[in-house]
A and B are shown apart, each in its own frame.
Chain A
Amino acid sequence: MNDIVLLSPIWLSALTGLLVMLIDVLAARDQRPGYLGYVTATGMVVSGALALFLWRHGAALTSPFLKGVFSFGPYTLFFGLIVLMMAAASLIIAPDYLRQQDADQGEFYVLAAFSASGMLVFVAATDLVAVFLGLETMSLSIYAMTASNPRSAVGAEAGMKYFVLGGLASSFLLLGTAFLYGITGSTNIVDIGNYFMVNPPLGAAILPSFAMALVIIGLGFKIAAVPFHFWTPDVYQGAPTPVTVWMAGAVKAAGFAVFGRLLLTMFHANTFMHIAFNYKLVVLALALLTMTYGNLVGIVQTDVKRILAYSSIAHAGYILLGVYAVGTSGLLDSSVGFYLLTYAVATIASFGVVTLMGGSMNEDTSLDRFAGFGRRHPLLGLLLTISLLSLAGIPPFAGFAGKFYLFKDVLQSNVQYNLPVVIFALVNFPQITGLNSGVGCIKRPICCVIFTHLMLDVTLLRLRSNGLNSLHLKHFLQPLSSNLSGNLGP
């Protein structure tokens, strides 16, 4: 009984899907109820509230048949809440958009609810089989949502690309799971971690390295890290924008939650340091590639959704840098969580504005259409500007605090090459991607770029000289909350 209560956020979001399905069927055939999106969003919010209430204390499942499948600690709670928040946000902006596209169908919301439930399983699971099942439930629904607009050829194409590459990725993850099971005799990630602690892999260690590579590849597709990113721009551009919000926000946050959990629990750095192929170096390489590629290729794009897609690739690089630097304390105590939160809020806001515009612009989101946007819609223009500046990491906004703490953590950690890596990340022009899309709204982006660089460099120097403990997270929550309230305005 206790277990059922503990699992309630998961089954409640699935139940929301069933409820929406029922309402959709019972409603009169010709008039689709317009409130289905809001019903689903309410379900997500209720699940989130329940999760906040139930998972805060990190209770464990007690039934012998469910033992070890989930861990409901603060980690799960934090990422679960981000995921549900993103889900609710994209569901709130979805109905208007879909109605404008004449693609408002009840099944869309049913799938969204199932997908959210799969994401919760994905984030909470500590068993690789449950991770895989959560991943597949999440992804299958999103494939269908991506291709759901019957009139959109690009939507179908995006759905196909996402499907093929997503299927490939999950086979890789599954093969990694199979080899880990073969090596350790268990699919529970804690058991696997303990096994490697007792029998540390030495030398070439082909089987563990191979399994680790497969897991990293499989999840790398989901978080769009660079050698595995090539689906991202096409799919983000072709999908209906609310689904893009879903993918750029919720899926990415969930992917990072699982990426961090699997790597840190199973392939613990201390046990895997002895082999040639340890995850830290792989993650570092992925991070540097990802941020450089995202920022560089983002510059030449002319479609706002594509620009935001490259921006999200670049952000994945920064988050990977945080994962690289994280020590034994785990992801939650590091700045990665905060970074993801700021990224999530800014992503909702920027894609939200694009959604509001895209619906009426016949889904043409090229940059030219946004010229003079600030004059036509001052409030939305302001919101877009703020969120893009936040994505770019310009000081008064939350994104700056996110990057600041991320770099601080990397500098503070005792990983190899921390200073060169941070300097590399700084000269990586994180701003350009964001500001490029802001060209229509802002007059003089160059000034902002120079200004930001000065700010970041000065902060970095002060950090090196003053010691790093003088700053605390709370000082930076103020801009975050003001950013949040600003974003909720319209």
Chain B
Amino acid sequence: MGVPLSYYIGLAVVLFTIGAIGVATRRNMLVVLMSLEIMMNSVNLVFISFARFRGDVGAHGIVFVVIAVAAAEVAVGLAIAIQIFKHNRSVNVDEADKLKY
């Protein structure tokens, strides 16, 4: 085992940050969804690296649940994107601005 844990966690934090930046800055709903997927995946990496370094396979079960949740989230998110497209003819997050005070 040549690679220390901090490298893996560092990679996960970098990916999580990239995903968070994507959610915050991108306007296209589909890209926002992809960024959410990147965030979920980086969390999976944290789980798996801690599982390896603790020698506890239990966290792999958590990763399964997270993958299932992420897939379910994509399904609902894409359905919402289609609904938005029907109303606005666009999937841009900030072009949907009917709700303002």
Contacts and interface: CB of A to CB of B under 8 A. Distances in A.
Contacts of A237: 99
Contact of A154 (B42, B46, B98): B98
A233 B99 CA distance: 9
A133 interface: yes
Contacts of A50: none
A301 B101 contact: yes
A302 B79 CA distance: 31
Contact of A164 (B23, B46, B66, B88): B23
A157 B84 contact: yes
Interface string A153-178: 11011111101100110110011001
Nearest to B20: A168
B15 to A, nearest CB: 11
Interface string A291-321: 0000000001111001000000000000000
Contacts of B79: 144, 147
Contact of A171 (B40, B50, B59, B80): B40
Nearest to A237: B99
Residue of A143, A144, A156 with most chain B CB atoms under a 10 A cut-off: A156
A181 B99 contact: no
A72 interface: no
Interface size class of B (residues with CB under 8 A): 35 or more
B3 interface: no
A182 B80 contact: no
A306 B101 contact: yes
A178 B46 contact: yes
Contacts of B32: 164
A233 B98 CA distance: 12
A306 B99 CA distance: 10
Interface in B34-72: 36, 39-40, 42-43, 46-47, 50, 54, 56, 59, 62, 65-66, 69, 72
A336 B87 CA distance: 42
B81 to A, nearest CB: 7
A234 interface: yes
A164 to B, nearest CB: 6
Interface string B4-24: 000001000000100110010
Contacts of B23: 164, 167-168
A159 B46 contact: no
19 contacts: A133-B69, A144-B80, A150-B86, A153-B87, A154-B98, A156-B83, A157-B84, A157-B96, A157-B98, A158-B99, A161-B99, A164-B32, A171-B16, A175-B43, A175-B46, A181-B47, A181-B62, A185-B54, A303-B101
Contacts of A174: 40, 43, 66
Interface string B74-101: 0011011101101110000100111111
A155 B66 CA distance: 28
Contact of B93 (A140, A158, A160, A179): A160
**Minimum-distance CB pairs A-B, first 8:** A178-B46, A182-B50, A153-B87, A234-B99, A171-B39, A157-B96, A156-B83, A167-B36
B73 A164 contact: no
Contacts of B39: 168, 171, 175
B36 A178 contact: no
Contact of B46 (A140, A157, A179, A187): A179
Nearest to B69: A136
Nearest to B48: A178
A140 B43 contact: no
A182 B69 CA distance: 21
Given A140-B73, A156-B80, A171-B43, A233 B62 contact: no
A163 B76 contact: yes
Q: B interface, by DSSP: helix, strand, loop or mixed?
A: helix
A187 B43 CA distance: 14
Contacts of A171: 16, 19, 36, 39-40, 43
Given A157-B98, A159-B80, A168-B20, A178 B73 contact: no
B62 A164 contact: no
A43 B33 CA distance: 34
A448 interface: no
B8 to A, nearest CB: 11
Given A129-B62, A163-B77, A238-B99, A147 B69 contact: no
A132 interface: yes
B80 A147 contact: yes
Contacts of B80: 143-144, 147, 156, 159-160, 163
A178 B77 contact: no
Given A153-B88, A156-B96, A174-B66, A185 B19 contact: no
Residue of A154, A171, A234 with most chain B CB atoms under a 10 A cut-off: A171
B80 to A, nearest CB: 5
B56 A185 contact: yes
Contact of B65 (A133, A154, A306): A133
Given A144-B76, A167-B77, A175-B16, A160 B99 contact: no
Contacts of A300: 101
Given A140-B76, A164-B93, A182-B46, 14 more contacts: A136-B69, A144-B80, A153-B98, A156-B96, A160-B84, A161-B99, A164-B23, A171-B36, A175-B16, A175-B39, A175-B42, A175-B43, A182-B50, A187-B62
